[in-house]
């Protein structure tokens, strides 16, 4: 029995050390404070802001960033509007997350301190369709913390991701057939911690 326990202890130690070493270079998105925000426009002039919280993901030591944006956490400030956007427009039951992936330039991964502005091409997957979009970002890395925020919004048209025009029309009908734009300005605010 003693030999069995010793073997188990050695095995667990041999597994623990490599996993710890692998995880050492990774940054995790802080889901408590990382967000993606956008604003819808109706009647040409009425702007309604929305924020999606609970964003998760990680950045590995090779500079590969993977982010998941959960549509269930969409908050427009009006719960029925949240439901309508999720059910009628985003079809969140079928496509619950927006996925973002990007290769971070190597120079941003070096040194103890980085303060810069950079445009990073990211693959965005929404409604089952992927596109590459350019994000102009302020990036600050000090020690074990990275802060990333939009310099300017990225303009996204839902129909270009395959969201049918009928989905937007369905949302419009719930508010008296008001004209609603399928194009929104999107901002990101991420904090990653090692």
Rounded alpha-carbon distances, angstroms, from residue 14 to 4, 9, 61: 15, 9, 22
Tokens of 134: 């350019």
Q: Tokens 């194009």 map to which residue?
A: 183
Count the Cβ atoms, other than its own, within 10 Å of residue 101.
15
Q: Decide: pTM greater than 0.75.
A: yes
- Cα separation of 133 and 148, whole Å? 16
pLDDT tens string 25-66:
699 999 999 999 999 888 878 899 999 999 999 999 899 999
pLDDT tens string 18-29:
333 334 469 999
| SS3 state at 16 | helix
Task: Tell me what the pLDDT averaged over the chain comes to.
Answer: 87
pLDDT tens string 132-185:
999 999 999 998 999 999 999 999 999 999 999 999 899 989 888 888 888 999
Tokens of 162: 């395959």
| β-strands 145-150, 129-142 pairing | antiparallel
- Cα separation of 146 and 31, whole Å? 13
């Amino acid at each position: 029995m003693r030999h069995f326990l010793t073997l188990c202890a050695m095995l667990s130690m041999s597994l623990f050390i490599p996993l710890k070493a692998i995880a050492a270079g990774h940054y995790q998105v802080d889901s408590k404070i990382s967000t993606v925000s956008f604003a819808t426009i109706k009647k040409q002039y009425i702007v309604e802001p929305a924020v999606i919280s609970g964003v998760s993901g990680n950045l590995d030591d090779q500079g590969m960033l993977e982010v998941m944006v959960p549509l269930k956490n969409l908050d427009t400030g009006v719960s029925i509007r949240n439901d309508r956007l999720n059910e009628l427009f985003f079809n969140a039951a079928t496509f619950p997350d927006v996925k973002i992936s990007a290769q971070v330039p190597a120079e941003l991964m070096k040194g103890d301190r980085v303060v810069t502005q950079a445009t990073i091409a990211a693959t965005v997957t929404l409604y089952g369709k992927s596109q590459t979009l350019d994000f102009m970002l302020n990036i600050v890395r000090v020690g074990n913390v990275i802060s990333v925020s939009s310099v300017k919004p990225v303009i996204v048209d839902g129909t270009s991701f395959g969201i049918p025009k009928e989905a937007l029309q369905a949302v419009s009908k719930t508010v008296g057939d008001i004209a609603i734009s399928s194009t929104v300005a999107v901002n990101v605010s991420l904090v990653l911690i090692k």
